[in-house]
Structure 1
Amino acid sequence: MTTLPKVLAFDVFGTVVDWHGSIAREVDALQLGVSGDEFALAWRAGYQPAMQRVRSGELGWTLIDDLHRLILDELLERFGIRHLDEATKRHLNRAWHRLDPWPDAEPGLSRLKAQFMICTLSNGNLGLLAEMAKRGGLPWDCILSAEVFRAYKPDPATYLGVARVFGVRPQDVMLVAAHHDDLAAARSCGLRTAYVERPLEFGARQPKDVSARSGNELHAKDLLALAELLEC
């Protein structure tokens, strides 16, 4: 890499934190009589369709916390779980605030932070991301969210918004993510990209194909490896 980026913007769910393992554990702890693994996958499967309802205009601007609750209410009915009181439902919905970082996340981010400005670029809302960072010791310089831009990825307003916030060119921003579609959308806006392998994002029963898809991006096993590639 001839010139280094100035800002590293990170996808969070799956890239920095383990949503599947965290949600499955919390569901199992409630002893709902369902598989935490299956419930976590079903909850996540509702994520893109729910955001599409906002993108299409069917719903007005709606935070991820509220979309998660819409999905949760549907899942509780689908799985036949009808005994939870409102306080328990709210607690379960906020499990998305309590996602555990991958083991390399905090040390990797800390190394990268020493050389680069690091921020989130997540569809999660600001309160969720802040609580998650506080709990997990994630050392962000700045928390950016779809909430800031009132648009969900892959809307160009999100990727270009990072450059605008920091007053840099799009090519001075690198998106770091474990999702090829997110990275492709960022590249189409002129950002640089780095793919991080998260083979267990969907759990051990559904390992991901983490092979490289684009020759125009960095490819790292984890965030510590990314720091090595960027010579941190």
Structure 2
Amino acid sequence: MPEPTLPKALAFDVFGTVVDWRTSVTRESAVFLERIGQDPGTAAAFADAWRRQYIAAMIGMKKSGRAFVPLDVLHREMLEATLREWSVDPGRIDEALLADWNRAWHRLDPWPDAVAGLTRLKTRFPIVTLSNGNVALLVAMARHGGLPWDAILGAEVSGAYKPDPRAYLRTAELLGIAPGELSLVAAHHGDLAAARACGLLTAYVDRPDEYGGAPAPDADYIQTWEWSATSLTDLADQLGC
């Protein structure tokens, strides 16, 4: 097969692709669970349950026609729902504690290859976020992890959450390029499939530990992507950076 044409810019999924949400949220949740008298040993299960709420929320937003709200708002709703699963009434927890717990998503650590890979990719391509995260969340995360973005584009820029086509097309529009000149970089086949359906190029980065070694929930969407890499530094090698 011929080599694909190089993109003019790279747009990155963030949660799971650039940062290790599960390890970070597990670590933070262990602290908060202990503070409210719950078993910190259940923190990994709590993190997984909180993330499952995210997937359900994205589907629910689309079906209900609910007006767009920032991901910080949804994360707080999901946190409270997860606490109820743990038989904990969030109304009985101090508001400052809940707010800080919700900001665990602002403090996610990058994967070990992420900063080096992004730094190399940035030498040849503009690198921006294409995430369902809101701007405040993504800015805090970038500062926490030293992520060298050229631009941080939260879901507010399109007023839509992926996999809504507006999220992908608006990002290309803001960069002043055609959809086919933008590549999404993601660890999720479903995200890449939606981007491809909008005309974007696609670069897959394998993150087998995203779910603690459990199978990814979107494996059924797998295709042959323009690029497939084991890390962001491997992708930099493939793209000549």
- The TM tier, using the shorter chain, reads over 0.9
Decide whether aligned partners of structure 1 residues 58 and 190 sit closer, same or farther in structure 2, where only a CA change above 3 A counts: closer
Task: Give 1:85's aligned amino acid.
Answer: D
Q: Which residue of 1 aligns with 2:122?
A: 113
Q: Which residue of 1 aligns with 2:29?
A: 27
Q: Which residue of 2 aligns with 1:99?
A: 108
Are the counterparts in 2 of residues 194 and 217 from structure 1 also a CA contact under 8 Å? yes
Q: Which residue of 1 aligns with 2:135?
A: 126
One of 5, 17, 20 as aligned partner of 2:19: 17
1:96 deviates by 0.4
**C-alpha distance in 2 between matches for 1:212 and 1:186:** 12
**C-alpha distance in 2 between matches for 1:75 and 1:155:** 26
**C-alpha distance in 2 between matches for 1:130 and 1:97:** 8
1:58-101 deviations in whole A, cap 9, x for unaligned?
53211111111111111112202345311111110010000000
1:194 deviates by 0.5
Query: What stretches of structure 2 of length at least 5 have no aligned partner?
Result: none
SS of the residue corresponding to residue 132 of structure 1 reads helix
1:154 deviates by 0.7
- Report the identity percentage: 52
- Is residue 66 of structure 1 aligned with residue 68 of structure 2? no
Are the counterparts in 2 of residues 201 and 207 from structure 1 also a CA contact under 8 Å? no
SS of the residue corresponding to residue 127 of structure 1 reads helix
SS of the residue corresponding to residue 87 of structure 1 reads helix
Decide whether aligned partners of structure 1 residues 77 and 215 sit closer, same or farther in structure 2, where only a CA change above 3 A counts: closer
Q: Which residue of 2 aligns with 1:139?
A: 148
Decide whether aligned partners of structure 1 residues 211 and 223 sit closer, same or farther in structure 2, where only a CA change above 3 A counts: farther
One of 148, 154, 159 as aligned partner of 2:163: 154
Q: Which residue of 2 aligns with 1:193?
A: 202
Task: Give 1:60's aligned amino acid.
Answer: A
Decide whether aligned partners of structure 1 residues 52 and 212 sit closer, same or farther in structure 2, where only a CA change above 3 A counts: closer
What number of residue pairs does the alignment pair up? 231
Q: Which residue of 2 aligns with 1:225?
A: 234
More helix by share: 2
SS of the residue corresponding to residue 122 of structure 1 reads coil
**C-alpha distance in 2 between matches for 1:97 and 1:112:** 23
Task: Give 1:11's aligned amino acid.
Answer: D
SS of the residue corresponding to residue 153 of structure 2 reads strand
SS of the residue corresponding to residue 152 of structure 1 reads coil
More strand by share: 1
Q: Which residue of 2 aligns with 1:165?
A: 174
Computed over aligned residues only, the root mean square deviation of the Cα atoms, in angstroms, reads 1.8
Q: Which residue of 1 aligns with 2:82?
A: 75
**C-alpha distance in 2 between matches for 1:211 and 1:148:** 29
Are the counterparts in 2 of residues 200 and 208 from structure 1 also a CA contact under 8 Å? no
Decide whether aligned partners of structure 1 residues 2 and 81 sit closer, same or farther in structure 2, where only a CA change above 3 A counts: closer
Decide whether aligned partners of structure 1 residues 55 and 213 sit closer, same or farther in structure 2, where only a CA change above 3 A counts: closer
1:207 deviates by 5.3
1:2 deviates by 4.8
**C-alpha distance in 1 between matches for 2:4 and 2:209:** 32
Query: What's the TM-score, normalizing by structure 2?
Result: 0.91
